[in-house]
Structure formats: structure tokens, C-alpha cells
Amino acid sequence: MIRVHAVALRSGLDREANAAAARTAVLRAADDGAALVVLPEYAAAFDPRGVSPDQAEPLDGTFVTALAEVAERTGAVVVAGTVLPGARPERAVNAVVAVGPAGVLGTYRKVHLYDAFGHRESERLEAGDPAAPPLVVPVGDLRVGVMTCYDLRFPEAARRLVDAGATVLAVPAAWAAGEHKADHWATLLRARAIESTAYVLGATQQGRGVVGGPAVVDPQGVVLDGRPDAGADGPERAVADVDAATVEAVRERNPSLVNRRYRVLPGGPGLDMG
């Protein structure tokens, strides 16, 4: 069994304060025995009106350095949202880093920019390459695939991670508020778990402009802990013990991944979002 924490934070624009909050969250999780800690999208810097290039910093900046230090201290793997500089000065990158005791394990740059429900991430951010190798990192006998927020609405994003060996999907998010949005978050977390026969860990921003609480969902779509349908003030974390044997047993009983007849490949309309 591996203990996991999916954490809710209230990040702002103060990098030092955000790094301190992330460090505290990881230390608290590690004290509870967690080997995997998932923090929200934009944990490094968040503005509900839209994160800009002003909030970007490189991987050796304040936030990721703090994650690396606390991961080395605790032995935990930490998955968290950050903002990286873009290729052009007027653009930033919505990214998720996976950090372990030995340092940065990998970086995922958000492929599906949030150009929906009246928002336009593509006006400030550049999209990740959909053909980039999926980010899947080992944590004990589990393999953790990384996606973020709006990616959750695209089942092929989860399926590509599963094809790369993921048994757990980590989903940092800053789920924008709106009509039915908390229900969407809760429903989509469970749907991705059921169709992927994988655990899903959702970590959320809280406060103004966002909804949805943290959750740990099992491979049959059962919420083990958390309140994914919460409003802006849900619980601080969702905690559960997960294991590869459960995934294996569910996939044996429900071999939908084996029985499918379609592959997922990069490509399609709407990919030029930069």
C-alpha cells in the first residue's frame, strides 16, 4: 500500500508564500506517511483572472527548488503545477512538475489550453507539444501519469497515459467556477477512473473564481476520500492508501483496455493554440 495525499491550496501571486504553503503541505503529508503528494495547478502562482508571463519562473526558481528540497527531506514524490517562461516573452507555459528525492523527475506542459466557458488561456500561454512523450513516473509499484485541469475533459489524454503504463492519474487543477462546474469536476474524475481502470487523484485551487474539492478515486470510480463536488471552500486534502494489486484485479475483472479497438495518436484539429 502507498499513502497518497491530494491537496487543496489557496495560491496567490507571492511566490515565496506559495512555496512555503507547498512545503508545509508536503511536510504534513509526509508526517502522515504519504509517498505521493499532488498539489494543484498553478500552485506556484495563481490569479483567477488569468496567470500571465509575469508569474513565470524557470525550473531552478523559488518554487521548484522548494519542492526539490522538501522531496529530498521527506522521500516523497511531489506533483505540482507551476508557470514556466515561454519561448516568447509575451507567453508563459502552464506546466506540472514531478519532483522526487533526487530532483526533478519530469515536466508536463499543458496541451489543452483552457479556451472555454469564456476563458482564453491561449492569449497568455503557449501550449505543450501533443506529441511530447507522456510524463509517467514510478512511485513504489505504481506508475503515476500526469495531466492537468482542462485535460480532464479529453479522455484520450488519460488513455495516452494509460498506454504509457500509468496506473494512477494525477490531475492538478484550478477548476474555474461556473454553472454545473463542480459537478463536471466530480463526474469527470470518476469517468476517467472508470474508463482507465486507474486511480485518479484530483488536487484543486480553492477560493475566489474556482470550485471543486480534492479527491482520490479508485479504479472502479468510487471516491475513497474527498469532496470533488465541493464549492470554493472544500476540504484541505483527500487521503487514501492505494496499491497496484487493486488496479490489476480491477483490470482483470473489467478488461476494457484489452478489449478496445482504437488507438490514441497525437493529431487532430485545434492543436495550434499558441
Active site residue 110: yes
* For range 186-215, the mean pLDDT: 97
Of 41, 57, 121, 126, which one is the catalytic site residue? 41
How far from chain centre, in Å, is Cα 127? 16
- Nearest to residue 76, comparing CAs of 135, 15, 8, 144? 144
Residues above pLDDT 90, as percent of the chain: 91
Interval 21-54: pLDDT, tens: 999 999 999 999 999 999 999 999 999 988 889 9
Active site residue 181: no
Element (H, E) at 242: strand 237-242
Q: How confident is the model at residue 232 (pLDDT cuts 50, 70, 90)?
A: confident
Residues 116, 252: Cα–Cα separation, whole Å: 37
Residues above pLDDT 70, as percent of the chain: 97
Instruction: Let me know: does 79 contact 146? Beta carbons within 8 Å.
Output: yes
Residues 34, 78: Cα–Cα separation, whole Å: 10
- Nearest to residue 230, comparing CAs of 256, 210, 251? 210
pLDDT exceeds cutoff 50 at 274: no
User: Structural domains in the chain?
Assistant: 2-259 (3.60.110.10)
Compute how many other C-beta atoms are within 10 angstroms of the C-beta atom of residue 60. Answer: 9
- Nearest to residue 178, comparing CAs of 207, 211, 203, 133? 211
Of 57, 121, 126, 149, which one is the catalytic site residue? 149
Confidence (pTM) = 0.96
Instruction: Let me know: does 213 contact 205? Beta carbons within 8 Å.
Output: no
Per-residue pLDDT at 49: 87
Enter the C-alpha cell of residue 6: 491530494
* For range 205-220, the mean pLDDT: 96
Residues 273, 105: Cα–Cα separation, whole Å: 26
Of 57, 90, 110, 156, which one is the catalytic site residue? 110
Active site residue 149: yes
* For range 97-109, the mean pLDDT: 98
Enter the C-alpha cell of residue 45: 502562482
Enter the C-alpha cell of residue 150: 482542462
